[in-house]
Each structure stands twice: as C-alpha cells, then as structure tokens.
Structure 1
Amino acid sequence: MPRIVIPTGFKETTSPGRVAPTCTLRNAQGHTFSVHVVSSEITRVVHALPSQYRQKTNGGTEFETNVSPAEVKIKSKPDSSIVTISTPVTRIEVDYAQCPRLQFFRSSSVHIEGAADAQATCFHADSHTRAYSFDAQSGAVLHLTERENYLPVSEHEDGISRDVNSPLRNEFIYGLGESRGFEKTGRKYTFEGRDALAYTPQNGDPLYKTHPFYCVYNKRSQTWHGVFYNSLVDSSIDMGAEGDILFGCFRTYKANSGPLDYYVISPRDGSLPSLISLYASLVSPSHSTPYPISASPVLPPLSQFGYLASSLSLAADPKAQEAVIGFVKKSRGEGFPIDGLYLSSGWCQEEGTDLRHYFAWNKSRYPNPAEFGRTVEQDLQVQVIVNVKPWLLETHPGIHSAAKVGAFVRPPKDALGDPSRASEEGDKRDLVWSSGFGAHALGRYLDYSSKGGSKWWTDSVQQQLLSNNLTGIWIDNNEMAGMVDDDATFKGELGLWNTTTAQGKIGDNVQRRMGWGRGETTVGSVGKAVQTMGMARATYEALLSARPNARPVIVSRSGLPGIQAYAHASWSGDNATTWATLAHGVALTLSLGLSFGPGLYGHDIGGFVGAHHPSAELLIRWCQNAGAYHSRFTVHSWKETSTTMWMYKGLEPGVTEILRDVLAWRYRLTPTMYSLYVTHYHRRGWPVVKPLLWYHSCDPLTLFESQAYLFGSHVLVASVVEFGARAKRVYLPSSTVGEERQVEWCELDTGVWHTGGQVIVMDAPLSRTPTLVRAGGILVVGPTCKNNLFESFGSRHVLIFPSSAQSGCSGRFTLVEDDGVSNEHTLNGVYTEIDVWYRVKNFEEVEVGFEVSRNEYVTKWKNLTWELPKGDRRKIVVAEGLKGLYDPQDILSVEVF
C-alpha cells in the first residue's frame, strides 16, 4: 500500500556559485527542493528525496551554468516564507510556508502583441498544499499542478470535447509525444514503452515512446508555455481524467522513483515555434551554429525522403534474396520509384524454428549476403535498412561469446541461481519476443552502457551488415518492454547521450542533464528507456566509424527526448489495417511533432496487421494523406501477401494509376520537403508536418483540428479519412498569428481562391487530395523521377500563390541544396541556400526574384522556372538586375547560376 507523505518544514539555504541552484530549500527529513534559472526563458525545479530512496544520479543533480547574475533578481526576507525570483521574461513566486508551491508569471517588461493580461496572469502554478507529495513506501514522486476549472460550461461538453468559443475555456494542452488524441485535456497517459501491436490510436496506452513534455496554450493571453519532466522511469501523467472535490482542479505527474526533475519553458514572445525551439535546445547536442539548435551532427540522406518499401513476409520468403531483388525491379517496372527497403527479421530466422537470431544470417534464404547487398544498394541504388533488436535469445549461437565480454544487463543478487532470471554466466534473463504473435522465450538484453555490450553491438553491425554492403539499420522492439525487474543493473561505463566521432562531437550537455553520470545503476533508478538511447548511440558509432563521410540511416521504433541526435526516423509502430487507424493516426504525427520527435516520421501505410488487406480505397487515402506530405513514406505489412502499390492492378481500374500519381507528386515535392527538414526541423526543432494551430492558434476553431494539417507553413492538407467519402468539409483558418490581414486560401489543383474563416466543401474523388495553399505560399518542385530521388537534381520549378493585387501579397521560401549523401553539409558547410521570393507588383504583374545566401554546392540545375496558380492571368516579371527568358508557353525562366 502507498504511504503518501507531504514534505514540509523547509528552510532556505544558500548554494553559491554559477552552477548552484538559484534557490535551495531543505528540511530536517532530508528533502532538498531547488529552483534553478537556466535562462530567462527556462527554469528547472528539482525535488530530491532523502538518500534512502532510489537516486537517479551518482553524485547528485548537476545543474546548468547560470545565466548572467544581472539577469536574475532574488527577493526574500528573513521572517518570510516567500522567495521571488525575477528574470527579464519570468517572475517566479516560491512559497514554502507548508509544502513548497511555485507560481510562474510573465515579467512586466515583456510585451506580447495582441495578448490580453499576459503579464498579470499566472500561467503555471503548483497545487495548494500537496504539490510535491511522495510515496514513502516506494519512493515514487508526484507533482500536482493547477488546471482550468473542469466543471462544464455548456450541455454539449463532455470533458474532452470543449467549447472553444466560451470565455471560460482558455487552457488547451498538446504534445506528450506519440500519444492518443491531439488535445490532451481529460485524459491520462502512461510512459512505460510497450510493443503495442494493433493498438487503437484513439484509445491505446501506453504506446512505444516516452516523451514527457507538454505544451499549454492560453486562449485569453494568446501565449504558450511548456513543461518537460526530465525522467525516463516508468511514469504517468493525468491531464484531468481524475477529479476530486477535496482538492479541486489539478493535473498529476507521477514517476516511480525520484528525483522529481522538471523544466518550465516560457518563451519571450509567447509563441509556439519559440517554445518548441527552446525545448529542443534542452535535448539536442551542443552546437556552434548560428541557428537556435542543431538537431543532430549529421543530416539524413536524401534517399530517406523517397518511397521506402517493406514487408515482413517478403524478407521471410524461402528464396528471399531473389524475391527482394525482384520486388525492387517490379516496383520500378510498375512505375513506382523506390529509394529504400526495410529488411524485416526474416533475414535472421532460424530454419525449422523461426526463432530470430539477430546477426546470424539465414543462408537458405540469403545464400550470399554480400552479393545481395551489392546488388540492391550499389547496382539498384536502393538503401537496405536491416531489422535488429536489442536482445539475444538463449538459443542464439553467439550468446556465450557475448556473455564473455560482459555485453548483457546484470541481474539483482536475489536472482542468481534462478535459471528463469539469471544465466550461469551471471547475466539477467528476461522474456522477450521470439517468433510470432504472442510467442516469447528467455533471452538477454544488451547493456549499451557497458563497454563490452557497446563494442559487441558495433562489431556485429559492422561484420554482419556493413561488410555485406548493407548500410541502414532499423532498431526495432527497443522499448525494452521485457525489462521488468527494477533491480536489474546497468554498468554505466559509457554515457548514452554523448559520443565523439569525426562527424561532430555530441557534447556532455544533454548527458549531464538526462543521464546518471558514470557507474553502476539500476533499471528502477534511471528507467529502461535509457537503453533505447544507448542502442541508437552504439548504432550511430558503428555506422560512422566504418563510413565516416556517409550519412547514417538509423530508424528507431521507440523514442525519447534526444534520440534524434542519432536516429533521424521513426514511425507509429505496428498499426492495424482499419479506417480508424488512418483517421486517428494524424493526431499521433502532430503530437510527436509538438514534442520534437524524430524529424522523419510517418505510418505503416495500409496498416501493418489484420486478417485482411487494405481495400483499394483505404490504400489510396492512406497514401494521399499519410504518405504524400508526411516526411516518411513507407508501405509495410505483416500479411501472407505483401501490401504493394500495384496490388490492385488488373483488379480495380484506375487504382494503380492514382497511386502512381500520388508517389510521383511526392517525389516532385522533395526539394521543398528536404528544405523544410533542414530549415525548420534541423535548425529550429519545428516539425515538417504541423497542426493548423501552429500558425493559426488565434483562430479558436483550429485548437481541436487533428485531421487537416499543414505541410510546412502554407500548405493545408485536408485528410479524407472516411470510407466512401467523395467530398470533404474543410475549415479555413481566418487569421494568422502576428498578422492582421484576412487570410486567403487557394486550391492547389484548381487555382480557386477562398476567404478564410469559413467551411468549404471540396470535391474529393479518389484521384484527389483536397489541398489548399495560403496566400504567400511557395512550393519548389523537381522533375518526375522514374527510379529514385537522385534523378530530381536536374531542374527546379517554383509554384507561387499570390492573392489579389489589392492585398500587397508577398512570399518567400528558403531552398537548400546539397549532394544528399555525404556529411559535407554539416561538417564543412558544403551546401547552397537560396531565398526565392515574389511580390504582387500591380493588378497585372507579379515580380519574382531570389537571393543566394550561400553557394558552396554546385547544383545540376542553373535556372528557376516560375508558375502562377491555374487560371491566374497575371504576368510574372523578373526583378531588376536578374536575367529571365520566356518560353513559347510564356513560362518565365530566371538564371540563377
């Protein structure tokens, strides 16, 4: 039974020095409460329990260097229990008369355009009386904060769907990574990491990833703030599912062990983009670039923006080596370019048992792995991404040699001698997935914090995969869900967030913040998800040490804050072949994007599991809405017959042609998508796919929208996710944050303009993805590709969307070009960056131009061609000083190089 205790009796103490907390409170029972100003926009709070409870770090919490002392002002009186901490952005009131209670306000010096009472209103507050309770029996820590009054304000509210127009409804919550529902109020979430096969995206919990970060939007003040809980132990957060008249309105975070360690982030301008960049700066490697962050030391290769095929049954074919090569050729033969192929675990299934023995090739299916890799990767130019998992079964032929070098997690002392919990060599045994649905067997998890485990992994990747010409790694089932004993131990010989490679050192800033230092620790002290990070780091080191100038391809199913430094890509896991999965999957994309998840993210198009195949209609809608504009496009399945883009050829007229057009458009769109990845995600932490509220939160009707989304900044994709639908109701946001002008939207394919603030009905035959572009938008597209994305380097065509002459409309887009394969972009700055722009000059003319801000990479194209929306009769003219020519169709071509 729990023993919930509320700590009291604190006294203020001093801790001098630039790396000491700004304010420290202690009590006689050994509790320490610290408030630390990291910057004028970020505050860290730590409640450390007495020493008899589990401790996360070996040596205590290591605080960040303080901001300049001139920026922080502290007021307290000897006879008072209130401390006031002020920065240029935030004022914090600390009341420790009973259990400490913090209130956060915006400083009076901060002015936010259009905001109401932003300075006077408390934007984040602890609950009264019991904010920092803990369980004296287990050592679990809690954090209770106030939330908006949840009593209904109309008969149409249900606690989750709320009245966005009511002046009594001002608080809206988002984020929490890949988690169900878009707006989070009224729900409870569990962070434990599960292999959640066939989950329902509207109800499933827990899922695959651990991202304890959420964003709060206040409609009245039009400002955003965020809270990040810096813990990876099993935890939960209740956003209002629980109600209790005794304590009123509250949210509850609970972690199974301490310390309670969290950050409150309050951007100076109160905006969502600034909030996400600030959060990203906390969990990204240290950098020396002029941009807010650097998501990782290297970029993903261009191939990862193309069509990435996959099928579990294909990899397990009796003649898989021939079958996979044939699949690639078949795809291109059917008119579908292909850039990558996920090789499922059939490559290492043991003959006769189907047990997965990772790094042990099935030579019956793959008689010559090196030839296989050479044919697919070098001859066909398709990158193979090989499935591996973080354990070895007891039947694995290499398990004893791995044990000899200390590669595995160690058991608690009371497990020694129990063959179901510990091996004869003294390694921890757990139940892990072995072959099929519900199948499991004893195995051992690798300990990536040990030198032996990390080296064994690196050697295996290099010897069994890279030496066989296979260069992409798919780290799967890395939730470590079978690691269920909190007393199992990690060696802690290596940091899991930092590394040194020739491609850029990932410094200790994130390691100090999120790791535990060095030395042995337990699963229960730091959380099993630290090994998810360790697996990604070891894989990263294996790839870059063997191929130092090649961009690594690492795709991780699980995720946590900071993993993007090593793993660029992820997806929503083993989803089901249902319309509900399609409809609710977009919310997962948007939530992870608001939590700075990996920048390449998508879904298994068509659904991974189910006794049925996707219908032609479902496959088309999935490709249109979760494929064409998402940053990752993968068709994957675990079915007797693989889901393919041409599966309905000859069966249902027109289907293959529609899918061919969808993929062709995605390939043409890649110059825009890649540029968005670099300029939005890599440099700022912003997702490529954004919710409407990213730019339009000032319009309350965007606050719950989770099916329509924005590609980049201006393109609104209205997902058709209902069976049989041939029309789509679309709400067009009426206003844009920071702008006063009325918003106008242009249908991408027809050129028809609409005024924002209304619902329109768009035709949605199977051949159409309802898509609109906000006035001021630009899309840069490449040529049609037949084989892969590297055929797209030949030309660049600029689609511009200026509204009427009266609006004074203008637009600008940053185009980034590089070789797409090497690390020269991030290491030596070898890339070209061009700002393309236009402005409405008068009733008859739209002026276009560009500025080259960097020119270190030589592009294969030399000119930009320009085009207005369909039906727009205005003339495009080139800016003074630039050279342009019109072709016979009156298309303007402007010389750039």
Structure 2
Amino acid sequence: MPIVERELLGFSLKDTSLKAGADITSFTLQTSSDGPYKNFTYNLSFPLANVYRILLTSCDRPQPPNDNIRLPLKPVSFKLTSLDVKKSEATFSFPTAGEGSDFDQSHKKREVHLKWNEHITLTVYEEVDGKKVRVIGDLPNRSYALTERGIMRHWWVEPDNLHLGLGEKAAPLDLSNRSFTMHGSDSAAYDAYNTDPLYKHTPYLISTPKPTKEGETLVSTYAIYHPSNSGGIWDVRRLHDDPWGFFKAYTQDYGGLDEWVLFGKGVQQVVRTFAELVGRPKLVGRDWLGYLASGMGLGESDHPIAQELLSTWPDLCKKHDIPCSAMHLSSGYTVDNATGNRYVFTMNKKRYPDFKGMVGHFHKNGIKVVPNIKPYALVTHPHYERLHSADALFHDPMLNKPVVTRIWSSGVGDNEKGSWVDMTSEEGRKWWAEGVRSLIELGCDGMWDDNNEYYLHDDDFICKTDMPHGFFSPAKGKSSVGLLGRMINTELMNYVSYAELVKATPERRPYVLTRSGNVGTFKYANSTWTGDNWTSWHNLRGSQAIQLNAGMSLMQSNGSDIGGFGGPLPSPEMFVRWVQLGVTHSRFCIHSFKPDKEDPSGAAATNTPWMYPEVLPIIREAIKWRYEYLPFFNHLMWESHVNAVPTTAWLGYGPFASDPILYTEEILEGFDAWLGVGSILVCPALFEGQLSREVYFPRSSPEDKSLYFDLHAPHRRYVAGTRAIIATPLEHFGLFAREGAVIPVGKNYATVTQITGPARTTPDGVDVQLEFEGGLVGLDDWRGVRIFPSTSGQSYTGSWIEDDGISSDPAKTVISVTYKGSQKDVEVTVKFGENGFKTLWAHKVDIILPAGDERTVKGGKEGQRDGKKVWTVEVA
C-alpha cells in the first residue's frame, strides 16, 4: 500500500493585533487562500480549565461531523503570556479557574508553547520540583500531515508511560508498543490477546507516567480524544522512523481534525473529565445487575418448540436453586420456517404461538425479557421492498443502486444477500421505531441491539444525513460513509431504541444493550458486552484486561459471555473459573452458541448454570454471592453514573496511583482488579489447575499499612505493600476486603425494592410473584453492612446509595457509616444523609464483622443471620 503523507505547512497568525498579556478565548492560525495548503485554519481553545482543543479544518477537510461531545461549547478565557510574530512563537498559560477546576486537582502550573515558523509544534510544560518538564508535545517537524482524505498526527512519545483506554481493545492492559484500528468489526471467535479491531470505536488514549519509587513527583496524566466517527489507526510507540525515532501517531481517514487533550492528577481525574465532555455513563436498572440468562439454542428449538422450552426456565431455576433476573432472547424468535433466515421484527409463530404470554410468564417469576434485534434486512425479508422504495438503504454511487452485500443470516458462517438499514434516513428510523414498539407492546423490558458494527466495505457509499432534531447538522444533502463514520448508524439505532422505550414507559429506566458503539452510543445504551468470544483459557484471561480498559473508557455495565460464546463447551473447571470472574464484573451474563447435533433442541449445548452437576454447588454459591452483594453493585453503578468511577478498576486507579509495584510487568499483565476502588481486591485463578497463586496487596502511600481481610478464611489478614501465596481451590479464588471498606449486602436471591409500584409491576401489568406466594422473588427488606475495622482506633467513614432500581428519575437515599475498632470492641454509627427513597428495611441494619472477629459492636443487638453473627443497629 503506498504511503500518503504530505507535510502541512504555511501557517500565519490570523489576528495580528494580538498583544502579549491579553486574555483571549481562542488563538487562530491560517494558511493563504491559494497554494497547495489553501484555506486551512488551526484554532486553539480551552473548553475547560484542564482541557485544550485543537480544530484543524479546510474546505476539503471539514470539521468531523459527530454527536459525541455533550459539553456546551463555552471556551474558558486563557492568557497569551508572550508573542513573537517574527519568530512565529507564542506562549499561553492554562486557565487557573473555571468549570474544569472541579475535575483537575493537580494544582500544577501549566503552559503551552506554540511555534509555527515551518511546521506547527505545540508543547505543554509543567513545573515539577522547580523545573519545567514536558508533559505532551508534537513531534518536531512532523506534527501534522495530510493523507488522501484525512489527517495524520504525530507526537513525541514518553518511553516509560503507561497507555490505557481506547475502549474495547485486546489484552494486555498496557497498550504501549502496539497499533490499533479505529472502527468496529463483527469479530466473532476473536482472540482476546491479538484480534483488532473488536466491536467498538473509541479514539481516546490515556497516557500516565509510571512512578519508579514511592513519593516521586510526577507530571500530570493526559488523554487525547478525537470525537470523529471516521475510521483510523492509533499507533502507540510501535513505529520507528529516523530521525524521529519512536513516536505516537493517529491517522484519521476522513475530514479535518477535532482534538481534545485532557489533563489531571492520575487516571481517575482524566476519566472524570472525559465523562464531562462526552456524558457520564447511564444508570442501569437494578434487575440488570443480577444473573442474566441467554443461549441461542434455547430460542431456536423445534422439539420441543422454543416457547415451551423457554417457559420451563423459571422452574429449572427453582429446581436448581439458581436466582435469575433476566432472559435474553436470541434472534431465533425471528427465524423464518421456510428459509431458516433471520428476519428482524417478524415472529416465528410456530416456535412462539403466544409470545406475549411467554413474556408474562417470565415476568410473574421476576425475570425480565430483552429480545435481540439487528439493523439489516436480507433481500428476502418481508419488509425489504418497503425499505428499498423508501430510500432507507445505503446507496452505491458506482452502481447507482442500493448497497447489497453479504450479511449473516442463520448458522455459523452462513450469509445471504441483504442490506444494512440507513439510520441517518428518516424512513430507516421510522421502520426501526415501529419494530421496537411492536416488541414493547408484547411486554419486552428492553432492547438488545446486536450485529450493529455497520462494517460497510466502501467509504464511498452514501447515506442520507437526515438527522433527528437535536443531533449535529452536517452539510445538507447526502454524505459519504467514510466522512460521517459507520457508527453514527449504531448511535442512531440505539437512540431510536432508547426513545421508544422512554415513550412507552417514561417512568422507567430504559434498558438498551448494544454490541457495538461509538462514544455517542452510550448516551442511549446503558449496557454492553465484549461480543462473540471463543471458549478457551487464553480468552478467559484476556477478558479481564478488555474489561479494565473498557471501564476507563466509560463502558461501565460491561462483561463477557460467560463460558465463551463460540467453540467447544468449557470444561467444568473452566466454566467455574469464568463464572467466578464474571460475578465480579458489572454485567454478568451466561450466553453461548454451542451447536450439538445429537440434541435437536440445542439445549444440551447451551451454557447453563446446571450444565455440570458435579460443580453446580460451586456455581450456585458464586451466583448467590452476586445477589448477596447486589446492593453494593447497585451503589457502584451510581458511582459510575455520578463520578465515572469504573466498577471493575485497574489496581493503580485513584489513591493507589503512586504505588510503583502496580506498574511492573507482572502486575500489568496479571488479572487482579478492584471491585469498587479500595473496597474489594479481586484475585482470580485463570489457569487450568491453578490451586494457589501469589498476590500483591496495593498501598496508597509508603506509610500505608492497611490490612486486607480474606473473605474466605477467618482470621487471615495481609498488610498493604506485601505479597503472599494464597489458596485458590476450585471452590473460590482470592477476594480481599480492604480495611475501612463499607460494603452493603442483601439477600442471596432476587428481590424487589417495592411492595407496589414499578419495581414490583412490569410494563405489561404483571405483578412479580413473591416467595411467600410461591414465587422465586423476595422483598429487599434486609440490609447488612460488612465493615473491616483494625484494632488501632483508626476511624473510617463510608457511604452507599439506595434507590428503587427502576425509576427514570429515582429518589435516592444515602447511608453513611462511621466506625473504629479497639482490641475489645467496635464503635459504629449509621446515619441517613439524603433520605428520599423509603427502603423496605426501614431504620435497622445488621453490622457484619470479618469472619472470625469476636469483638462486640457497641450499642448493637447481637443476633444470627444465615448462620453468621450480626449486630443490629438503628440508623439515625
């Protein structure tokens, strides 16, 4: 492939009246209106006090059309500290106040040096220990280049920085010394360490310095974000080219450059700032935090018919004592009897003679239903001619007719001729809305937007750009897929699904699950997963790093298909380890496609909790643990929604960023993570036959001597900053609560938060049958609080949030807990802060000390709960 890289030169200052010392809101360079680089404009501004933005455009490279930035564009004033027009140099001070100050608490003095004598070169410096140190800088004499239709960026690269983010990218966690494609693909059966791209499009790269010793003063962490939906490539110090050596480079296929650079003290502040730019993660409903069932074999059965087979699911859950919160209906309900093809928004009435009745049956048993829907139509689809005649399909300018390509149709590897539906067209969205509405009317609780990568194979295909009200407005008329970006269609698909759910049940929190997505997609989808993975130990291990980088990219309700989607059935040991890891992720779904020719129903080849009787007790215990900790997960989702904190986080997140051990290869290529930063250390066993392993216990400072309490072994404690060999029998892997943690827990099965109301009654008017009525679901009328006090008298305070788990605008209650321990007893105070939601457990909570802790709780009433000692206290 020929390299197309043309240097971009010839800029001059637009406003020659500017003087040093002026307070300005933007600084603009431009090229002349003739010559090889005519009409380019380079604009520097500060949308927040810790964010600068570069907008580089021309007539033939317009501003990238997108709807990914949510922050209102109100530039912050900054100071032009020096200007030398003859030398083509200027220096700017970062704003010292403004909206951004809430998200960057590093208190570092930063300045921007800009040169444009030949190439544009921007460098940011900070004062560190009295010295001026470079934080980020353009690659000298090669900063900006033109490709055939887009722009290429080059930066100096910090050789020892840790690189994170980019959404959903293959393991390991550190993205350094690798290259990544910026678009999504249907990456079925992918390799979790090698496949690129996967399903998402997230051109957002974090760069953070690695401490080499404790107490070291470091420059700020920064992230670079390009909100374009066009494809591209991020190269993170993999390429080498003298005289420049190693560098970082981003190549955007189409359009001008819209670049946002974010600064903060550590990764946590940068992620928080990113959420201010693009929107904080949506709040997912409480019921979607439990065990989510699925399986293509279940929905495609003919003997017995799928409806009969699926209707046995609640009884099977009851028989095996497995709580379940939702059933994902794979696309088998849309399969045409004659052809075997999937026709979205049609119903196979032979397999599903009473779909609405089946949904009601699930609802009665406390199980929500979400159907799979796909944004394409085969040419044999009953609706195809309608879409064709309405001009709701992409257009091929070479053939001057709608784009027809090969699209997945039935079994593994099967495909037929069909067309993607253009969601930028009003008629395409109208068709999608009607289909979504038809499923809502059948009682469905949410939408599973699948197969939506829109991997059209030609950038020159044309789409309509007839955007809904409130979306960006590109140039009137039609646009190429390359410039607009394929995944604007993914975003619009999720937007319509979301809008129809809101319209139908405005009082309820909409649930949209998406496989693919650009950054803007997650304004509408509140859940995702890592796509069609392959069953192997290798991919199980790789799923943890994907989870961690996705969390730092604001994909907060996320997980992998437990047990692997494709490939062979997992062994009993592998299945156990995958479930044990999965229950610690923000989304826990057992989903698979395991064809078994010996079983015509397909059920025997579907991953289910009870598939291996010999390990069922272990699987049951792990799933019940998930439900016991569901109040904690619900709180973590609030933390994600309000503060953009990942539920599953890298060990160096937040207060642990200064621990140099966490930046070593063994940790970065390992699998340990926080469940709630600083609360529970998750140490999985992800190798076959791994019955023990070494664990390092992170510390927040050199003085940190906090204890880690083994949740599986009474009296076993470990000190921060130390290592230990722990046991990982098949029954469990390592879980350690950190001293000072406050962890709310509830019953170890499915519960509802209201006796009457939306948490009890589903949209189709069905009341959940409660356990005292013979059902599977209980009331959320008990709350325990696990605390982990030392004996030194150290005082700790923590809090959590409660809500009904379903309302679109939920009232919430905040409960704070303060405690300290001595050798003999523990003092605990529990108070309501904000108290807008009336919990079923009212004003009493049970304090639970670490296993084996024989101290008393002052003022508490001693009792027993599920064989464990508890201390009941009043909430003030």
Instruction: Give the alignment partner of residue 743 of structure 1, picking from 690, 694, 706.
Output: 706
Superposition map of 1:192-231 within 5 A = 192-220=183-211, 221-222=217-218, 223-231=220-228
The answer for the alignment partner of 2:599 in structure 1 is none
Offset, 1:119: 6.5
1:665 and 2:645 correspond = no
- On the 8 A contact 1:342/1:384 being kept in 2, the answer is yes
Letter matched to residue 276 of structure 1: V
The answer for the alignment partner of 2:675 in structure 1 is 711
Instruction: Give the alignment partner of residue 845 of structure 1, picking from 825, 843, 854.
Output: 825
**Cα distance in 2 between the residues matched to 1:766 and 1:58:** 48
The answer for the alignment partner of 2:41 in structure 1 is 32
The answer for the alignment partner of 1:472 in structure 2 is 446
With over 3 angstroms needed to count, the CA separation of the structure-2 counterparts of 1:475 and 1:19, relative to structure 1, is: farther
**Cα distance in 2 between the residues matched to 1:552 and 1:396:** 28
The answer for the alignment partner of 2:467 in structure 1 is 494
SS state of the match for residue 677, structure 1? Answer: helix
The answer for the alignment partner of 2:802 in structure 1 is 817
The answer for the alignment partner of 1:637 in structure 2 is 592
**Cα distance in 1 between the residues matched to 2:592 and 2:23:** 51
Instruction: Give the alignment partner of residue 86 of structure 1, picking from 93, 114, 122.
Output: 93
1:857 and 2:843 correspond = no
The answer for the alignment partner of 1:700 in structure 2 is 660
Superposition map of 1:114-125 within 5 A = 117=129, 120-125=132-137
Offset, 1:844: 2.3
The answer for the alignment partner of 2:157 in structure 1 is 147
Offset, 1:62: 12
- On the 8 A contact 2:70/2:278 being kept in 1, the answer is no
**Cα distance in 2 between the residues matched to 1:819 and 1:19:** 49
Q: Deviations over 1:618-638 (max 9, x none)?
A: 01101111x221111111110
1:12 and 2:13 correspond = yes
Offset, 1:396: 0.4
- On the 8 A contact 1:577/1:608 being kept in 2, the answer is yes
With over 3 angstroms needed to count, the CA separation of the structure-2 counterparts of 1:146 and 1:367, relative to structure 1, is: same
SS state of the match for residue 174, structure 1? Answer: strand
Instruction: Give the alignment partner of residue 607 of structure 1, picking from 564, 576, 589.
Output: 564
**Cα distance in 2 between the residues matched to 1:39 and 1:90:** 14
The answer for the alignment partner of 1:301 in structure 2 is 285
Offset, 1:410: 3.1
1:316 and 2:300 correspond = yes
**Cα distance in 1 between the residues matched to 2:786 and 2:192:** 36
Offset, 1:81: 0.9
Q: Which runs of 5+ in 1 are unaligned?
A: 109-115, 150-168, 285-293, 417-421, 500-507, 879-883
Offset, 1:213: 0.8
The answer for the alignment partner of 1:754 in structure 2 is 718
**Cα distance in 1 between the residues matched to 2:790 and 2:433:** 55
Offset, 1:140: 2.6
Offset, 1:73: 3.7
Instruction: Give the alignment partner of residue 432 of structure 2, picking from 457, 460, 464.
Output: 457
- On the 8 A contact 1:58/1:517 being kept in 2, the answer is no
With over 3 angstroms needed to count, the CA separation of the structure-2 counterparts of 1:436 and 1:582, relative to structure 1, is: same
**Cα distance in 1 between the residues matched to 2:545 and 2:323:** 28
SS state of the match for residue 449, structure 1? Answer: coil
Offset, 1:477: 0.9
Instruction: Give the alignment partner of residue 344 of structure 1, picking from 312, 330, 333.
Output: 330
Offset, 1:273: 1.6
Offset, 1:690: 0.3
Q: Deviations over 1:202-235 (max 9, x none)?
A: 1111111111111111135443211112222111
Letter matched to residue 6 of structure 1: E
Q: Which runs of 5+ in 2 are unaligned?
A: 97-108, 212-216, 596-604, 754-776
Offset, 1:786: 5.9
SS state of the match for residue 891, structure 1? Answer: strand
Instruction: Give the alignment partner of residue 277 of structure 2, picking from 270, 282, 289.
Output: 282
Percent identity between the two aligned chains: 28
Letter matched to residue 467 of structure 1: E
The answer for the alignment partner of 1:112 in structure 2 is none
Work out the number of aligned pairs and report it.
801
TM (norm. structure 2) is: 0.87
Offset, 1:469: 1.2
Q: Deviations over 1:9-56 (max 9, x none)?
A: 2101139999996111111222221211112100011222x3235663
**Cα distance in 1 between the residues matched to 2:140 and 2:489:** 37
Instruction: Give the alignment partner of residue 814 of structure 2, picking from 833, 837, 852.
Output: 833
Q: Deviations over 1:341-371 (max 9, x none)?
A: 1111111111132111000111111112222
**Cα distance in 2 between the residues matched to 1:890 and 1:383:** 34
**Cα distance in 1 between the residues matched to 2:524 and 2:130:** 38
SS state of the match for residue 778, structure 2? Answer: helix
Instruction: Give the alignment partner of residue 248 of structure 2, picking from 248, 251, 267.
Output: 251
The answer for the alignment partner of 1:444 in structure 2 is 419
Offset, 1:594: 1.2
With over 3 angstroms needed to count, the CA separation of the structure-2 counterparts of 1:208 and 1:57, relative to structure 1, is: closer
Q: Deviations over 1:607-660 (max 9, x none)?
A: 0111x21111001101111x22111111111013111111111xx3xx111111
Superposition map of 1:763-842 within 5 A = 763-785=727-749, 791=778, 793-805=780-792, 808-825=793-810, 830-840=811-821, 842=822
TM (norm. structure 1) is: 0.85
- On the 8 A contact 1:355/1:434 being kept in 2, the answer is yes
Instruction: Give the alignment partner of residue 27 of structure 2, picking from 3, 12, 23.
Output: 23
Offset, 1:255: 1.1
Superposition map of 1:855-894 within 5 A = 855-862=835-842, 863-878=844-859, 884-887=860-863, 891-894=870-873
**Cα distance in 2 between the residues matched to 1:14 and 1:22:** 11
With over 3 angstroms needed to count, the CA separation of the structure-2 counterparts of 1:369 and 1:893, relative to structure 1, is: same
- On the 8 A contact 1:47/1:132 being kept in 2, the answer is no
Instruction: Give the alignment partner of residue 521 of structure 2, picking from 543, 563, 577.
Output: 563
Letter matched to residue 521 of structure 1: S
**Cα distance in 2 between the residues matched to 1:63 and 1:410:** 33
The answer for the alignment partner of 1:331 in structure 2 is 317
The answer for the alignment partner of 2:365 in structure 1 is 380
Offset, 1:706: 4.1
The answer for the alignment partner of 1:178 in structure 2 is 168
**Cα distance in 2 between the residues matched to 1:474 and 1:543:** 12
Instruction: Give the alignment partner of residue 526 of structure 1, picking from 481, 484, 487.
Output: 484
**Cα distance in 2 between the residues matched to 1:572 and 1:231:** 22
With over 3 angstroms needed to count, the CA separation of the structure-2 counterparts of 1:5 and 1:141, relative to structure 1, is: same
Offset, 1:819: 1.6
With over 3 angstroms needed to count, the CA separation of the structure-2 counterparts of 1:15 and 1:692, relative to structure 1, is: farther
Letter matched to residue 601 of structure 1: N
Letter matched to residue 797 of structure 2: R
- On the 8 A contact 2:25/2:76 being kept in 1, the answer is no
**Cα distance in 2 between the residues matched to 1:55 and 1:492:** 15
Which stretch of structure 1 is more off in the superposition, 200-209 or 17-26? 17-26
Instruction: Give the alignment partner of residue 485 of structure 1, picking from 446, 453, 458.
Output: 458
With over 3 angstroms needed to count, the CA separation of the structure-2 counterparts of 1:848 and 1:77, relative to structure 1, is: same
With over 3 angstroms needed to count, the CA separation of the structure-2 counterparts of 1:471 and 1:758, relative to structure 1, is: same
Offset, 1:759: 2.0
With over 3 angstroms needed to count, the CA separation of the structure-2 counterparts of 1:673 and 1:411, relative to structure 1, is: same
**Cα distance in 2 between the residues matched to 1:22 and 1:233:** 26
Superposition map of 1:232-271 within 5 A = 232-267=229-264, 270-271=265-266
- On the 8 A contact 1:676/1:688 being kept in 2, the answer is yes
Superposition map of 1:574-585 within 5 A = 574-585=532-543
**Cα distance in 1 between the residues matched to 2:739 and 2:474:** 49
Letter matched to residue 224 of structure 2: V
- On the 8 A contact 1:668/1:792 being kept in 2, the answer is no
Which stretch of structure 1 is more off in the superposition, 705-714 or 221-230? 221-230
**Cα distance in 2 between the residues matched to 1:118 and 1:659:** 56
**Cα distance in 1 between the residues matched to 2:840 and 2:231:** 51
SS state of the match for residue 243, structure 1? Answer: strand
**Cα distance in 2 between the residues matched to 1:95 and 1:148:** 21
